Amino acid sequence: MVCVRFAPSPTGYLHLGNARVAIFNYLFARHNGGKLILRIEDTDRERSTKEFEESIVEDLRWLGIDWDEFYRQSERFDIYREYAERLLREGRAYECFCTPEDLEREREEAEKKGIPYRYSGKCRDLSNEERKRLKEKGVSYTVRLRVPPNRDVSFKDRLRGFVSINTDDFGDFIIVRSDGSPTYNFVVVIDDALMGVTHVIRGEDHLSNTPKQILIYEAFGFSIPEFIHLPVILGEDRSKLSKRHGAVSVRSYREEGYVPEALFNYLATLGWNPSEEREIFTKEELIRMFNIDDISKAPAVFNREKLKWMSGIYIREVLDIDTLYRYALPFIKEAGFDLTDEDYVKRVLEKTKDSFETFAEMTERLNPLLKKEINMSEEALNLLRTEESRVVIEAFLEKMGDNINSQDVKRIAKEIQKEKGIKPKIIWQTLRACITGKLEGVGVDIIADLLPPEIWKERLQKGLMYVSSSK
């Protein structure tokens, strides 16, 4: 059975590139009826935090990714210790007593010679007596794998074909640190082998780790999985996606109010095309159509505006009103909007969903519809302080009666234009300024179908106050 894993380190929020790796693992597992493992790789004790672990788990669930098994590497140290001791007993690894200062001198020497640094192997052939003497003196040590010299380690990457790296490029590498904690390359092999991982799907930044891991697989006699190294995500300037391109974590887009299905859809099709003349797909459709061999070998370019457009499509055309309300609710609460009438809020969302693409934008657009008091922008105040605005407001109050809807607003606006000779733009801007406090946003006619007439009258009368105060 196909078994894959997504293995983030809890040293920061979930990066968009890692989220894309998680999505491809998820789609591959579900398409093949296989298993997905979530494994928290928290062996870096200094940088790993529980807060980041929880945020990664929450953000994966928010994206709609579920998993079949869950592990933390910090809870498996006894297993790693046992396997490290096995390599030491079999002579496939050895204790290295070199100090950081020793290693730094080696690095400096390599720099002077203009050659890449690799460990000299000075502790490789220490006698058992010498090792025992150093341990008794309390000298700290690491554990290094015995790497065969000048060997080409070759493997077939499913996207890139055959890759070969010579062992002289890296030499004997550390598998256990001096504090007893195992290193990434060591534990990832132990875990993948014991958990039955058949395919390792990860970013191409791990490509240089693969030969080291293959040597560890071989040292234990483990079966080697198939490797698929995904191209990175680039910013629009074609440099590696980073904070200078804007938000780069799933958490940021979640907090900005992007639709989770839209982010899943966008990242899934970033570098992989389902070969259909459309761009919006359900998760079930993506699972059914997914073919990992169709992923582009070229880096994918992240386009924030395209993602925002896609989020808007989901809001306008895909989400039903109950889902739209559920996604909007946290943002509505945070904005301090009135939630006493759920049916009214849903009606507002249904009528106004064409005017926003994220839920953060929604709170700005819906402010005049869900809050009793509105804030006036400086532009709106400047408009209301004109004689033409006074004429528009007074005429509208006189004509509106006890009820108001979109047809009434359009009719009254035409009458004011004809009777007072005021341009339509000034009429509509004046009404918008009074009702919303701004000169742009949800259509005034749409607002008329939602706001009670008493609030219309109250806000128009306040608008007259601004006119009067300017005299």
Mean pLDDT of 407-430: 93
Q: How far apart are CA 147 and CA 87, in angstroms?
A: 12
Residue-wise DSSP of 102-127 = HHHHHHHHHHHHT-------TTTT--
Contact present, 5 and 38 (Cβ < 8 Å): yes
- pLDDT over 70, % of the chain: 98
How confident is residue 466, by pLDDT bands cut at 50, 70 and 90?
Answer: confident
pLDDT of res. 374: 87
224-227 long-range CB contacts below 8 Å, 24 or more apart? 224/155, 225/192, 225/197, 225/198, 225/199, 225/200, 226/156, 226/158, 226/198, 226/199, 226/200, 227/155, 227/156, 227/157, 227/158, 227/199, 227/200
Asked if residue 245 has pLDDT above 70, the reply is no
Q: How far apart are CA 470 and CA 436, in angstroms?
A: 20
Contact present, 298 and 229 (Cβ < 8 Å): no
pLDDT of res. 236: 83
Q: What is the pLDDT of residues 77-107, one digit of tens each?
A: 999 999 999 999 999 999 999 999 999 999 9
The pTM is what? 0.91
Q: How far apart are CA 8 and CA 447, in angstroms?
A: 46
Q: How far apart are CA 248 and CA 312, in angstroms?
A: 19
CA distances from residue 49 to 40, 45, 270 in whole angstroms, order as listed: 11, 8, 30
Q: What is the pLDDT of residues 34-55, one digit of tens each?
A: 999 999 999 887 888 999 999 9
Catalytic residues: 243
Q: What is the pLDDT of residues 265-276, one digit of tens each?
A: 999 999 998 888
Mean pLDDT of 200-210: 95
How confident is residue 116, by pLDDT bands cut at 50, 70 and 90?
Answer: confident
Domains of the chain: 3-72+183-234 (3.40.50.620), 78-176 (3.90.800.10), 243-317 (1.10.1160.10), 320-370 (1.10.8), 374-471 (1.10.10.350)
Q: What is the pLDDT of residues 186-197, one digit of tens each?
A: 999 999 999 999
Asked if residue 304 has pLDDT above 70, the reply is yes
Name the amino acid, one letter, at 422: I
Please return the burial class of 33, using the count of CB atoms within 10 Å of its CB with bins 0-12, 13-18 and 19+: exposed
How confident is residue 401, by pLDDT bands cut at 50, 70 and 90?
Answer: confident
Count of beta carbons in the 10 Å neighbourhood of residue 256: 15
Asked if residue 471 has pLDDT above 60, the reply is no
